[in-house]
Amino acid sequence: MKRKEKYLKECLRFLDYFGVDYSKEVIKLTDGGNSCIMNTESEFYELFGGYSVNSIAEFVAEELGKKTEWYD
């Protein structure tokens, strides 16, 4: 598996953990998704430390050819 594919797979696992639905054509972004991974004890810190849930969702959307939309 290529490095980018492996990273995308980890991104999907990350989004699953936070309950972000990426199965539809539009991935919904929320204000809660602005939280950044800062806990060094988190299983996601090594790959995603300093990144927000929304930023990972935007990356996934771009990679999968989907759109993002803010949701209240």
Query: Would you state the structure tokens that stand for residue 34, as one six-digit string?
Result: 């602005």
Whether the pLDDT of residue 5 is over 90: the answer is yes
Q: What are the backbone dihedrals phi and psi of residue 65, each rounded to the nearest 5 degrees, phi first? A: 70, 35
Contact partners, residue 25, CB within 8 Å, separation at least 6 = 66, 67
Residue 71 and residue 29 in contact, taking contact as beta carbons nearer than 8 Å: yes
| Predicted pLDDT of residue 19 | 95
pLDDT tens for residues 13-67? Answer: 999 999 999 999 999 999 989 989 999 999 999 999 999 999 999 999 999 999 9
| Domains in the chain: boundaries | 3-70
